[in-house]
Amino acid sequence: MNKPLLIEIGVEELPAIPFLKELANIEKKWSDILEKNKLLCGFDFFYTPRRLVLWHREFPVSQANSVVEQFGAPIKIAYKDNKPTNAAIGFAKKCGVEVEDLEQIDKGKGPVLYFKQEVPGKQSVTLLNEMVNEFINSLNFGKSMRWGSRTDSFIRPIRSLSILLENKIVEAELFGVKSSNFSFAHRMVSYEPFTYDFAGDYFCKLDKNGVILYPDERRKIILEQMKKIEVSNDVKIDIDEDLLEEIVAITEYPTALIGKFDEEFLELPEEVIVTSMKEHQRYFAVYKDGKLSNNFIVVSNSKTDDFSAIVAGNEKVLRPRLSDAMFFYKNDIANGLNNEGLKNLVFVEGLGSMYEKCEREAKIALYLANEFNETNKELLEKAVMLSKADLMSEMVYEFTELQGLMGYYYAKIANEDDLVCMALKEQYLPDGEDSNLPSSKFSAIVALSYKLDNLMGLFSVGKIPTGSKDPFGLRRAAAGIVKIAMEHKLSINLDKIITNLANNYKGLDKSQLLDFFNERLFKIFEVNPSVLKAVLGSGEKDIYKISLKLCALNPIVQSDDFKEISTTFKRVANIIKDIDVDKKLEVKDALLEDNEEKELYEAYKAVTSKQFDDYEVQLDELFALKSQLDNFFDNVFVNHENEDIKTNRKNLIGLVYQAFKNIADIKEITI
């Protein structure tokens, strides 16, 4: 039998960012608890800043009955002279019955003691209190707090609890708060709680009391209101998705409003204004004719007919924020872009100052310039030495997320070369999964120098990622190096780079760093892992070439007919397992007796004599040897009694294997 179940946990305002980080896990955690308690069923999860709601349209009123089977000692041990031994008596006691109530069953190895019992399912009302407490304690928001005289903690104080099964309150207690049938209205409607008798009554009264419970509905309302603002004001709102989700999480009755700030602040770089509005005030930026305007969008959580005071208040609050930004900006311009202060700014213990980091990065940049034929070496060194100078600026001190970007603006004002300016702006790219990449080879070298120094430097002082912990973003740095190599077609051999620059990093274990990097490749490239293993098995260390080989090989492995193809080439691998395929192999024409081996050798020579522009064409021609190989395997006896002929035939297959191994070690591929 099923009945509707409503659970509402009332809290003081939840902080949006930690809540949103945990949001993706919340439904799974409650589902796991339902399954654990044998009450798994469908449900919906809703939230506002002051409540967490679990709604089950059909909730089992009890667990299903279950059958418990228990098996005891063999009968020949359980009874002696037809009298129960301690083994039988102990088993009966364990089952909670008398010995004569036990049965026997033969599971194929002789009869044993057996007891079957039907266990009635527990009533849901007896389980819900513990389930809700387990659920709340499972939520991980990072930080928590205590209140009153309690010693337990949660992200915010619990103010109400309601567990309503159909129209009856389930007895329960959470953080000292007992279950009831009341909830709280929007604060601008009433500070007094309201009561409800059943779930439908709850949803209806929430709506009447100014609370839009469904986050999807709040999001839809905000977007519709923004659209109306765009049309009526002939503007375009930059809808930052992360900010939108934050606004949805902190409002119960959202209203989008347009405000204005003084035009004089448009002198500031666009990113400064947008960051100041977003980070400090949770405002959306507004554009007109493709340019940032002196408007902003604020989403109010008020329930009123007159929003003029709210708009004016937000305009008043924003002005000093932008005034501070303007003050920082002009001070920074006056002071100029100077890296001397970096000598007093520690990078990481054991790796010196930020100035010394720049010096190490400059050495990497000059090395890469030689590798990649970059001629602007003097500008490149200047860009690297200036790259962290904006860390000393007042603006970056206030908005750390603007580092690099402010260096770009200050370099532009100082009339630095455009290559230098852009390199400062792009030095940290890519900085996320869907991030842009450096726009030029010059900028790419600066970005690579930063990432390579982080990897070599931090590994040299033992700051190595463990488990899920990666405080310095070294996994992201490794992924960035791969993406840059692919984007700009740069031959990056990490082994060679480390070998040539290791003198700058005392204590660096090259093999440890290379192992870490190669492990990351399995996360970075979305291919069959065995395909990557096969490519690495070729001995290839050039990241760009690895990517090209994967792009050529993986589609072939994923094709429908590869299983048939692979059978042939597995035979190739099996035949040559006893020979050293890393040495030069020789096939003697005079020892070729059968037409099939002659045809295979001629086909092999025809393929390997060509110069290929890409690996895809080369692989197509190599895999086209399948027909000659099949004929060879069907008609040629490899283990000839003549050792010279036997060796010659194995060498022929070995040469085919070697041709593949230049691209990938085919024996590593599994499907």
pLDDT digits 0-9 by tens, 20-66: 999 999 999 999 999 999 999 999 999 999 999 999 999 999 998 88
Q: CB-based contacts of 498: which residues, under 8 Å, 6+ apart?
A: 456, 508, 510, 513, 514
What local confidence, expressed as pLDDT, does residue 167 receive?
Answer: 92
Q: Are strands 255-260 and 291-300 parallel, antiparallel or unpaired?
A: antiparallel
Report helix angle 405-413 to 308-335, nearest 10: 60
User: Cα(55)–Cα(183) distance, rounded to whole angstroms?
Assistant: 15
Is the distance from CB of 204 to CB of 219 less than 8 angstroms? no
H or E stretch at 168: strand 168-169
pLDDT value for 437: 97
User: What pLDDT sits at residue 280?
Assistant: 87
Q: Sorting pLDDT into bands at 50, 70 and 90, what band is 1? A: confident
- Asked if residue 669 has pLDDT above 90, the reply is no
Tell me how far the alpha carbon of residue 458 is from its chain's centroid.
22
Instruction: For residue 343, give both structure tokens.
Output: 């000598």
Give the alpha-carbon dihedral of 238, 239, 241, 243, to 10 degrees: 90
Per residue in 531-570, pLDDT (tens digit) is 999 999 999 999 999 999 999 999 999 988 888 888 888 8
pLDDT tens string 417-466: 999 999 999 999 998 888 999 999 999 999 999 999 999 999 999 999 98
Region for residue 481 given its phi and psi (left: phi exceeds 0; alpha: psi -120 to 50; beta: otherwise): alpha
Q: Is the pLDDT of residue 572 over 90?
A: no
The C-alpha angle with vertex 157 and arms to 151 and 158, in degrees rounded to 5, equals 100
Sign of CA dihedral 136, 141, 147, 153: positive
pLDDT of residue 579: 83
- In angstroms, rounded to a whole number, what is the distance separating the alpha carbons of residues 376 and 419? 9
Q: In what order do the strands lie in the sheet with 291-300?
A: 236-237, 284-288, 291-300, 255-260
pLDDT of residue 429: 96
Residue 46's region, left for phi above 0, alpha for psi from -120 to 50, else beta, is beta
Checking if the pLDDT of 671 tops 80, the result is: no
> What is the bridge-based pairing of β-strands 111-119 and 103-106?
antiparallel
Mean pLDDT estimate for the chain = 94
pLDDT of residue 233: 97
Backbone angles phi, psi at 14, to 5 degrees: -75, 135
**pLDDT value of position 82:** 87
Mean predicted confidence (pLDDT) in 579-595 = 90
pLDDT of residue 332: 96
- What confidence score (pLDDT) does residue 363 get? 97
Nearest CA to 409 among 262, 265, 272, 291?
A: 272
The span from the CA of 8 to the CA of 162, in Å, is 5
Q: Write the Ramachandran bin of 108: left for phi over 0, alpha for psi from -120 to 50, otherwise beta.
A: left
Model confidence at 265: pLDDT above 80: yes
Q: Map residue 72 onto helix, strand or coil.
A: strand
Residue 17 has a pLDDT of 94
Stated pTM of the model? 0.80
Mean pLDDT (whole number) for 121-144: 94
Residue 340 has a pLDDT of 95
Q: Would you state the pLDDT for residue 329?
A: 97
- 346-375: average pLDDT: 96
Name the one residue in this structure whose structure tokens are 């589902």. Answer: 31
- Strand-pairing partners, residue 9, are 52, 161
403 contact partners, CB below 8 Å, separation of at least 6:
388, 390, 391, 396, 428
> What's the average model confidence in pLDDT over 168-197?
95
513-532 average pLDDT score: 93
Nearest one of 598, 576, 604, 590 to 642, comparing CA atoms: 590
